[in-house]
Amino acid sequence: MTESDVQQPSSGTAPAGEPLLEVRGLKKHFPIKGGMLRRTIGEVKSVDGVDLTVNRGETLAVVGESGCGKSTTGRSIMRLEQPTAGEVIFHDRELGPVNVESADRKTMEKIRPKMQIIFQDPFASLDSRMTVGRVIAEPLVINKVLKGQALRDRVAELLQLVGLRPEHASRYPHAFSGGQRQRIGIARAIALDPDLIIADEPVSALDVSVQAQVINLLEELQDRLNLTYMFISHDLSVVEHISDRVAVMYVGKVVEVGNTRDLYRRPRHPYTEALLSALPQPDPRNRIEIVPLKGEVPSPANPPSGCYFHTRCPYAQEICSVEAPPLREIPNADGTGKHEAACHFAEELELKGALVPSAEVAGGKDGMG
């Protein structure tokens, strides 16, 4: 890799809009061991048949509540967890489509640098005994990309790219704040000039003022380096800001996928509606009496019959407890792109989108005082 690759990332890349990553029927089941012989007595179906496509240059957000399998999906795509079933196809610029889930060691070595991950907790994801310079240089050293002065130059360049100073390379992670640590994690992730970055709740652990800085950095890097993001998050406000498309997960399955704007305005799955209505809006004049979802998220070890959401769904009918609805395309009159939902009544239901807070609230023009 040379410097010019970084500065002119758009040259020689495939046009945006083509699929970069295709996930077909991805499953990750964890065995539950029990009894005297530690036999498998059940399975936690963390990810239970996920289909996703991430197009080159876009940001696909994966949202859902804890335990819905969004992080496991990310880790299975990276093959940090070996998927139980399904296909993960990565469209490499040189190798063409590669099946990541079954690739041999040699192919993985070529593919891995192209897919990177950023973790949620910036305090756990950096080795406290390594200087920041070594943390960032590690992927370059392991993949034998650079060494000596060229390596040091690249590390300095990466530090500047994420808004830190080159002299920070000699310090240890403990000397940095949460936001700065997340920048270091981002520098490490972009060191090998990847195509895809899976960002697993990258801003959830940060304070509001720092969160905005990191979000802006991620967006800026996406433009400069032509990155594709899979952005895993539970924060629907951040997701609306950063993503082009959103996939909503519930108990190991994708229940709805659509354009961000479209999905927020007109959700097609009752679970998406519930998520959007539960979002506390930062507008005191717009207090909504939330009708909270009843009950709890079912256990992925023992999911309900039929549609997994029927136990909590306010619109559930008889068929919902019997037949599991597949994820299917919903005809879209607005022409805002493909919209898919896994609901028997996706066409009939008139679901409410997210409320939009009034424009003058909160530090808007009128609020300046």
Partner 1 sequence: MAEESDQDLIVSVRDLEVQFPTTLGVVQALNGVSFDIPRGKVVGIVGESGSGKSVTARSIMQILERPGRITKGEIKFHREKAQQAGASQLMEEAGAELSKLTDESGAVDITKLDPRSSAMRAIRGAEIAMIFQEPMTSLNPVYTVGNQIQEAILLHQTPDKKVAWDQAVDMLRQVGMPNPERIAKSYPHELSGGMRQRAMIAMALSCHPALLIADEPTTALDVTTEAQILSLMRRLQSDIGMSIMFITHSMGVVAQLCDEVIVMYLGQVVEYGTVDEIFYNPKHPYTQALLRAIPRIGADEHQPLEVIKGSIPDPYVRVPACPFHPRCPEFMAGTCDTVYPVETTFAGPTKHSVRCHLYPQQEEPVDPERSKVEV
For residue 105, the minimal CB distance to partner 1 (Å) is: 39
Closest CA relative to residue 247, chosen from 12, 42, 51, 32: 51
Closest CA relative to residue 78, chosen from 115, 26, 23, 47: 115
Structure-block tokens of residue 115: 């897919």
- Cα of first residue to Cα of last residue in the chain, in angstroms, is 51
For residue 74, the minimal CB distance to partner 1 (Å) is: 18
H helix runs in 131-259, sequence order: 132-142, 148-161, 178-190, 208-225, 236-242
Contact status: 238 vs partner 1 (CB under 8 A): yes
Contact status: 302 vs partner 1 (CB under 8 A): no
Sole window of 105-113, 128-136, 187-195, 283-291 interacting with partner 1 (rule: CB under 8 A): 283-291
H helix runs in the chain, sequence order: 3-7, 70-77, 105-111, 132-142, 148-161, 178-190, 208-225, 236-242, 260-265, 270-278
Instruction: Indicate the residue among 213 and 336 with the shorter CB distance to partner 1.
Output: 213
Q: Which of 31, 42, 97, 282 binds partner 1 (CB under 8 A)?
A: 282
Q: Which of 1, 85, 151, 279 binds partner 1 (CB under 8 A)?
A: 279
**CA triple 31-49-222, angle to 5 deg:** 110
What is the pairing mode between strands 59-63 and 245-250?
A: parallel
Contact status: 252 vs partner 1 (CB under 8 A): no
Separation of alpha carbons 258 and 228, rounded Å: 17
Closest CA relative to residue 200, chosen from 178, 233, 228: 233
For residue 148, the minimal CB distance to partner 1 (Å) is: 33
Contact status: 292 vs partner 1 (CB under 8 A): yes
Q: Which of 157, 261, 315, 316 binds partner 1 (CB under 8 A)?
A: 261
> What number of chain residues touch partner 1 (CB under 8 A)?
58
Contact status: 363 vs partner 1 (CB under 8 A): yes
Instruction: Indicate the residue among 166 and 353 with the shorter CB distance to partner 1.
Output: 353
Q: Which of 157, 219, 332, 336 binds partner 1 (CB under 8 A)?
A: 219
Contact status: 236 vs partner 1 (CB under 8 A): yes
For residue 103, the minimal CB distance to partner 1 (Å) is: 35
Contact status: 14 vs partner 1 (CB under 8 A): no
Q: Which of 208, 331, 333, 335 binds partner 1 (CB under 8 A)?
A: 208
Instruction: Indicate the residue among 104 and 289 with the shorter CB distance to partner 1.
Output: 289
What is the pairing mode between strands 196-200 and 228-233?
A: parallel
Instruction: Indicate the residue among 150 and 210 with the shorter CB distance to partner 1.
Output: 210
Contact status: 73 vs partner 1 (CB under 8 A): no
Q: Which of 177, 302, 305, 317 binds partner 1 (CB under 8 A)?
A: 177
For residue 307, the minimal CB distance to partner 1 (Å) is: 17
CA–chain centroid gap for 356, Å, is 24
Contact status: 237 vs partner 1 (CB under 8 A): yes
Sole window of 20-28, 40-48, 126-134, 290-298 interacting with partner 1 (rule: CB under 8 A): 290-298
Instruction: Say if residues 192 and 1 touch (Cβ distance below 8 Å).
Output: yes
β partners of residue 54: 21
Report which residue type is found at 47.
V
Q: What's the chain's length in residues? A: 369
Contact status: 296 vs partner 1 (CB under 8 A): yes
Q: Which residues, at least 6 apart from 144, have a Cβ–Cβ distance to it below 8 Å?
A: none
Q: Give the helix/strand (H/E) hosting 42.
A: strand 39-55
H helix runs in 28-131, sequence order: 70-77, 105-111
Residues interacting with partner 1, by CB under 8 A?
A: 65-66, 177, 179-180, 207-213, 215-216, 219-220, 234, 236-238, 240-242, 260-261, 264, 274-275, 277-290, 292-293, 296-297, 354-357, 360-363, 366-369
